Amino acid sequence: MEFSIKNGNPEKQRSDCAIVGVFEGNKLSDAAKELDKASDKAISTVLKNGDFEGKLNSCLVLHQLSGVEASRVMLVGLGKQDEFTEKQYRQVVRAAIKALPKGVAHASLFLAEI
């Protein structure tokens, strides 16, 4: 596996999958908020419909969000915000990488801000 570091707006990053975090209680990370805004609240709609709850290490892949350059967006659950630790951060990154769909050659991980 090869890694590179880039800086830029999540909605403008071309990749096979953009990975963003969601805390329990439908609290979006900053990157998730940007993708939600760019996609006309597509992520908020998924959360309001109860399709994703932000439970620690849970993952949900969304396809072809309008306004987002990435082919897919993966929501990864961060658990309870006030209980989030460095150890849980490592677990979340591992869970997201393991959950990447087949065929994903380039993923953008937007979890550094957490």
**CATH code, domain with 31:** 3.40.220.10
**The whole model's pTM is what?**
0.93
Task: Assess if residue 57 is contained within a domain.
Answer: yes
Residue 18 main-chain phi, psi, to 5 deg: -100, 130
Task: Assess if residue 2 is contained within a domain.
Answer: no
Write down the mean pLDDT value for the chain.
Answer: 93
Task: Assess if residue 3 is contained within a domain.
Answer: no
Cβ neighbors of 18 (< 8 A, separation 6 or more) are 10, 31, 35, 68, 70, 72, 73, 74, 107, 108, 110
CA separation for the pair 19, 31 (Å, rounded): 9
The boundaries of the domain holding residue 54 are 12-110
Q: What is the greatest pairwise CA distance in the chain? A: 36
Q: Give the pLDDT confidence score for residue 8 in this predicted structure.
A: 78
CA separation for the pair 41, 57 (Å, rounded): 23
Task: Assess if residue 94 is contained within a domain.
Answer: yes
User: DSSP per residue over 77-97, as a string?
Assistant: E---GGG--HHHHHHHHHHHH
CA separation for the pair 77, 57 (Å, rounded): 5
Q: Give the pLDDT confidence score for residue 19 in this predicted structure.
A: 96
Task: Assess if residue 92 is contained within a domain.
Answer: yes
Q: Give the pLDDT confidence score for residue 111 in this predicted structure.
A: 87
Task: Assess if residue 22 is contained within a domain.
Answer: yes
Task: Assess if residue 4 is contained within a domain.
Answer: no
Q: Give the pLDDT confidence score for residue 4 in this predicted structure.
A: 61
The number of distinct structural domains making up the chain is: 1
Show the low-confidence residues of the chain (pLDDT under 50). none
Residue keyed to tokens 């967006």: 73
Task: Assess if residue 5 is contained within a domain.
Answer: no
